Amino acid sequence: MPSSKKLLPDLLVSALLVASILFYAFTFVDFSIPPFEDAAMLMRYAQHLAGGHGIVWNIGGQPVDGATDFLFMAASAALIKLGFTVGQSVRGLGFASHILTVLIIYWTNRRINNGNIPLSFLSGLYLVFGTGLSYVSAYFGTPFFALAAASTWTLGLLLINRQDSPFWLSLAFALSGLVTGLVRPEGVILASLMLLAVIVMRGLKNSISIIVIFGVVFTILGGAYFLWRWNYFGYPLPNPFYKKGDSGWKWDSFQHSMQNALRLCLPMVFAFIYGFRSNETTKRTIAYLIPVLGFATAFGMISDEMNYGARFQYAIVPIALMSWIPLVGGGRVGAGDRTDSYREVPEGGDQMFEALNQSSVRQRSVYIVGLVSLAIGLVYYSWFQNCNLALYQQSCDRPYERDGRLEMAKMLSDYRGKGYVIATTEAGLLPYYSGWDAVDTWGLNDQWIAHNGALTVEYLDEYKPEIIMFHDYYSTLVPPKLTEPNLAQRWFSMTILMKTYAEENGYVLAAIFGDSPYDTHYYYVRSDFEDSEELIKKISEMRTYYYPTTGKRSINYAGFPEP
């Protein structure tokens, strides 16, 4: 084990990284924003689970696994049960996960990859200023998944860089991989890709025990969980997978995933390219690319909707940050180098820093200025990814604008507990903050719709919702064009069905909110229940409905005559 004297610089750098996180978080990250639309879905599940209602979308309804971040949802529910608010639980887990992931990156590079302090520090700093805290701010559990992935890869690197494979290490790797799969289902794919990378580096013969232990853990423990969830929910996979992955391979999703991976990890790409310079480094480069490229490729199987800030691909960022240093000669690692888990870091670091020590004062000054400039550039690039979080993001400082759906939900919350139902395409803020029972008409949180392909009139009849709300790209001034190509689009045909159902069943069109007649939110209110007149009046006269894509005050186009 290293002496306390040799640990001191690393402890100081670790403290500096944590301080950087806190400085950045409370200086540049906007924690005043409400949950992003899709993050509110998981918060609803966590709240219901903490309340003792089970994993349900509507209290008293059948279990449904619309929250694909299973372990994150369960952990959030546990914290809620302890007395924390839903927001504190979700953000607290994400914030703590982000800090731990940054520290894992630094210590893995130092103690496993044998990297020098500057490169290891820069690797951690890249994640500090990346998109991790923006996910926390938006109430997503993405950093929690990234922490599980980083932990598993750390154990995988230990297996790669040790000649032996002790039982405890192989078991820890398998258990960490299982946890990664419990956080999100695609974690099973990622953990399996990491196992494949270990096999490539160690060779099949030297990996037999690792494979066996991995297989036993996933078969027994993973199998038990799989059978439980199949029995509990009635279906083997999370509900969104049936909706988002029902049309086979999607080339557009694959393209978007690869673009996201490239954008998030661009600085490390050059290290991976440089890794092909020799036979020795090529093998390691290919092995380290397996979890990165393999995981990005896997997203070609589902649609890219709800991918806020490339959060689906974010887990590969810490993996790349823990992989690039050995590829550029920034550390001395290799299977069979040592059998102990700790290798002392050479005082001089890698060759680049040894050359720096031997150079003249002038040369050293130029090198230092160049390295500092490079570090600033990399940090700036990492921070700049926060400017690409949402499709309609207007500034780097604020990922999304004021949202009228939140104001509407708060108004509707005055009527919670009356058994009212809202059928909506916007299944985040409206259901969560209103507390109403909700029909997610797109099907991400509705098993019947997801498994039967689409919303039907008969299904709406079962609920007879008090409010029907949907988002589409038409209005009274820009009527929908009911052409065959348009009706072949599933979203358009769904909203036309909702619109037609409302108009044929006595609903009152209370509002068509939008800052443009080409992009609107429709609100229909059923006319025959106790609070219908009051709700029609409140909705139609709402003046604080800001459109989420622009943050501008919406116009109610319901009163405009059709052309």
Q: What are the tens digits of pLDDT across the range 110-124?
A: 999 999 999 999 999
8 Å CB contact between 295 and 288? no
**507 shares its domain with 454:** yes
Which distant-in-sequence residues (6+ apart) come within 8 Å of 406 by Cβ?
34, 429, 433
Single-letter amino acid, residue 93: L
**Which residues of the chain fall below pLDDT 70?**
1-5, 245-247, 330-358, 563
> 388, 413, 430: which is the final residue of a domain?
388
The verdict on residue 12 lying in a domain is no
Cβ neighbours of 271 (radius 10 Å) = 20
- Four-CA torsion 401, 90, 447, 471, nearest 10 degrees: -10
Determine the structural domain holding residue 432 and report its residue range: 404-559
> 355, 388, 421: which is the final residue of a domain?
388
- What is the Cβ-side half-sphere exposure of residue 289, based on CA atoms within 13 angstroms? 19
The verdict on residue 248 lying in a domain is yes
Q: C-alpha angle 64/35/241, rounded to 5°?
A: 30
Q: Beta partners for 519? A: 516
Q: Beta partners for 438? A: 422
8 Å CB contact between 101 and 14? no
Q: Beta partners for 468? A: 423, 524
The verdict on residue 14 lying in a domain is no
**366 shares its domain with 417:** no
- Four-CA torsion 491, 497, 500, 502, nearest 10 degrees: -90
Q: Beta partners for 34? A: none
Which distant-in-sequence residues (6+ apart) come within 8 Å of 489 by Cβ?
none
**383 shares its domain with 409:** no
- What is the Cβ-side half-sphere exposure of residue 314, based on CA atoms within 13 angstroms? 31
8 Å CB contact between 234 and 447? yes
**215 shares its domain with 295:** yes
**142 shares its domain with 286:** yes
Nearest-angstrom CA–CA distance, 514 and 557: 7
Secondary structure of residue 469 in the 3-state scheme: strand
Number of residues in the chain: 563
**451 shares its domain with 546:** yes
* C-alpha distances in Å from residue 499, one per residue of 145, 524, 560: 39, 8, 17
**297 shares its domain with 375:** yes
The verdict on residue 6 lying in a domain is no
8 Å CB contact between 458 and 494? no
Nearest-angstrom CA–CA distance, 351 and 436: 63
The verdict on residue 417 lying in a domain is yes
The verdict on residue 233 lying in a domain is yes
Q: Hey, what are 414's tokens?
A: 């005055």
Could you give the residue ranges of the DSSP H alpha helices within 385-468?
Answer: 404-412, 429-434, 447-452, 457-463
The verdict on residue 10 lying in a domain is no
Phi, psi of 362 (to 5 degrees): -65, -45
Positive or negative, the Cα torsion across 51, 55, 61, 66? positive
Burial of 419 (0-12, 13-18, 19+ CB in 10 A): exposed
Which distant-in-sequence residues (6+ apart) come within 8 Å of 415 by Cβ?
434, 436, 531, 535
Give me the sheet containing 555-556, strands edge to edge.
Answer: 437-440, 421-424, 467-472, 519-526, 507-516, 555-556
Q: What is the pLDDT of residue 272?
A: 96
Nearest-angstrom CA–CA distance, 113 and 188: 25
Which distant-in-sequence residues (6+ apart) come within 8 Å of 385 by Cβ?
130, 131, 263, 264, 309, 310
Q: What is the pLDDT of residue 352?
A: 56
- 382-435 pLDDT, tens digit per residue, is 999 999 999 888 888 889 989 999 999 999 999 999 999 999 999 999 999 999
Q: What is the pLDDT of residue 335?
A: 40
Is pTM beyond 0.85? Reply is yes
**187 shares its domain with 270:** yes
> 358, 388, 418: which is the final residue of a domain?
388
Positive or negative, the Cα torsion across 449, 65, 44, 474? negative
Q: Hey, what are 319's tokens?
A: 């993996």
The verdict on residue 11 lying in a domain is no
Beta pairing class for 467-472 and 421-424: parallel
**276 shares its domain with 416:** no
**237 shares its domain with 331:** yes
**432 shares its domain with 491:** yes
**376 shares its domain with 328:** yes
Q: What domain count does the chain have?
A: 2
